A = this chain, B = another copy of it.
Amino acid sequence: MTKFKYDETEGFKKGRDVWFEMRGEKVAQAAVDQAAQNEMTRDLRQFLFEHCFAAAWARPGLERMTRSIITISVLQALGRTEELKSHIRMGINNGLTREQLKEIFLHVGVYAGVPTAVAAVRAAMEEFDAADKAKAKG
C-alpha cells in the first residue's frame, strides 16, 4: 500500500523511464514503491527523476555508457562510495566491462588521489562478489 503519490510530470516520466531501463524493471519498481511510504523519500525520488535522470541521463548528445563513465568518475573523485556501488551496477548494465571499470578507477586515482582508487576497487569487488553469487544461485 502506497501512502504518498508521485506527481507524474513530463520530467518525472522521462527520468523514471531511463532509470527503470538501467536498474531493471523489478528492482526499480520495488524502490519506487518503498520510497512512496514516506514523504521525505517520495520527494527525493521525485526530485531524482526530474532533476537527475531527466536532467542529465535523458538528454541526447552522449551515449548511456559514456554517461556511466562520467558518473563513476565523479562519484569516485568525490568519495561518494554508496552511490558509486549503485552506479557500478548500472554501468555494467550500460555495457562497461570489469576491465574498463578498473582502468577508470586507476585513471581517476591519478587525478583525485590514490585513496579514491583503493576505495573504488573495494566497492567494485563487493559488487562483483554479490553479482557472481547471484549468478551462481541462478
A residues with a Cβ closer than 8 A to B are 11, 38-41, 43-44, 47-48, 50-52, 55-57, 59, 61-62, 66-67, 69-71, 73-75, 77-80, 82-83, 98-119, 121-122, 124-125
Contacts and interface: CB of A to CB of B under 8 A. Distances in A.
Q: Which 5 A-B pairs have the closest CB atoms?
A: A61-B103, A83-B115, A73-B73, A80-B115, A56-B110
Contacts of A118: 44, 48, 82-83
A70 B40 contact: no
- The A interface, classified by DSSP as helix, strand, loop or mixed, is helix
Given A61-B102, A103-B62, A114-B52, A121 B40 contact: yes
Contacts of A38: 125
